[in-house]
Amino acid sequence: MALLSIITGFALIMLIVLLIYSPGKMKPYLDQNGHILSGSLNEKIFIPIGGVQQGMIIKSKNTNNPVLLYLHGGIPDFFLTQKYPTGFEEYFTVVWWEQRGSGLSYNKNIPAASLSLDQMISDTKELTNYLRARFKKEKIYLMGRSGGTFIGMHVAANAPELYHAYIGIGQMSNQLQSERESYELMLKLYRDQNNTKMIRKLEASPVADIIPIEYLQLRDGAMHSLGIGTTHDMHSVVSGMFIPSLTCRSYTLKEKINLWRSKAQSGVHPLWNKMITTDLRQDLSEIKIPVYFFHGIYDHTVSYSLARNYYEMLHAPVKGFYTFEHSAHSPHFEEPSLVRKIIETDVLHAKNNLADKMKERTGMQE
């Protein structure tokens, strides 16, 4: 009975702490005098998109700046800006949209069939037009990360007239081949460590022509342990992702729960099936706006070498590939000052002066 009381008391304390850390409110930007910064915006809003209420966080130090629409991957990642500030709001009105079925836009009643590529393209265009009208912009910038790059490339190809440029962070190309290569690399690295437990788990769920659900359940933790996941210095999904999401004050407790409910279902969505059965090198070989790929050398969530190969054969009026030597899957979180320099020097001026000279690379330095 005493033990039960202790456990109950501890659970109650944890719940109270979580509620304290979950006001779900956005704080305004203030000037040096403590007044709301003129022309700034820091809000969480929900609007109907494609017949579904969808949420986003919009941040800007000056709403006269260009608009940037950010497409996340398997999980909305705005909460990581607490530890890894991007500074995007300094020169963009940045829209951290949480897409249909994810995070702020999670709803258990959304039909799984609607989580398709066609619907995501339609949703993105609809939101783009809302932002164009609201902020009085003829065009906006489009940025995708990880799975968001798959959507982003299709949107850029489908409606180039809506966008100044497209930026892909951890750009997908042939994701099934990427998963195969990552699987083999992880096996090698764990064998080098003589980690028999992980070797046994990986060998029980081999990646070949299909990706077993058991592998997907193992994949994120295994990659993070090796420093080839979200960031190169993040070695645990729990300490690196889960706990920061719980301490993010921009979300209510319910919104935090929904963030992880949606993540748990991401591997069974029709969109994921489309991603792993598509080779963008064959399907999308030309984009009619400037295209920029930002890729970490340690990224094996999405293959660095395959992204470079895709870039080299892609036709665009201006294009640039940028290698981040100290990053894995998130250069905008890991090397934000370099990302800002590239955006300010190249992206905002449709240039590629800072892009890689496409010399030979071997990918991750083992």
Which of 120-129, 200-209, 270-279 has the highest average model confidence (pLDDT)? 120-129
Percentage of the chain exceeding pLDDT 90: 85
Mean pLDDT of the chain: 93
Local structure of residue 357 (DSSP, 8 states): P
Percentage of the chain exceeding pLDDT 70: 93
What radius of gyration do the chain's Cα atoms show?
21
Does the structure show a pLDDT above 80 at 233? Answer: yes
Confidence of residue 363 (pLDDT cuts 50, 70, 90): very low
User: 3-state DSSP call for residue 322?
Assistant: strand
Q: What is the pLDDT of residue 360?
A: 44
pLDDT, one tens digit per residue, over 295-351 is 999 999 999 999 999 999 999 999 999 999 999 999 999 999 999 999 999 999 999
pLDDT, one tens digit per residue, over 251-261 is 999 999 999 99
Name beta bridge partners: 286: 315
Q: 354-365 burial by CB neighbour count: b if 16+ within 10 A, else e?
A: bbeeeeeeebbe
Does the structure show a pLDDT above 60 at 10? Answer: no
pLDDT, one tens digit per residue, over 72-122 is 999 999 999 999 999 999 999 999 999 999 999 999 999 888 999 999 999
Q: For strand 163-169 and strand 67-71, is the pairing parallel, antiparallel, or unpaired?
A: unpaired
Local structure of residue 293 (DSSP, 8 states): E
Q: What is the pLDDT of residue 22?
A: 87
Q: Are 353 and 319 in contact (CB under 8 A)?
A: no
Does the structure show a pLDDT above 70 at 14? Answer: no
pTM: 0.94
* Domain limits, the chain: 1-366
The packing angle between helices 213-225 and 175-192, to 10°, is: 60
Only one residue has tokens 């096996």, namely 187
Task: Report the pLDDT averaged over residues 46-66.
Answer: 97
Confidence of residue 39 (pLDDT cuts 50, 70, 90): very high
Q: Domain 1-366: which CATH class? A: alpha beta
| Residue count (the chain) | 366
Q: What is the pLDDT of residue 268?
A: 66
3-state helix, strand, coil in the chain (%, to 5): 45, 15, 35
Task: Report the pLDDT averaged over residues 1-19.
Answer: 65
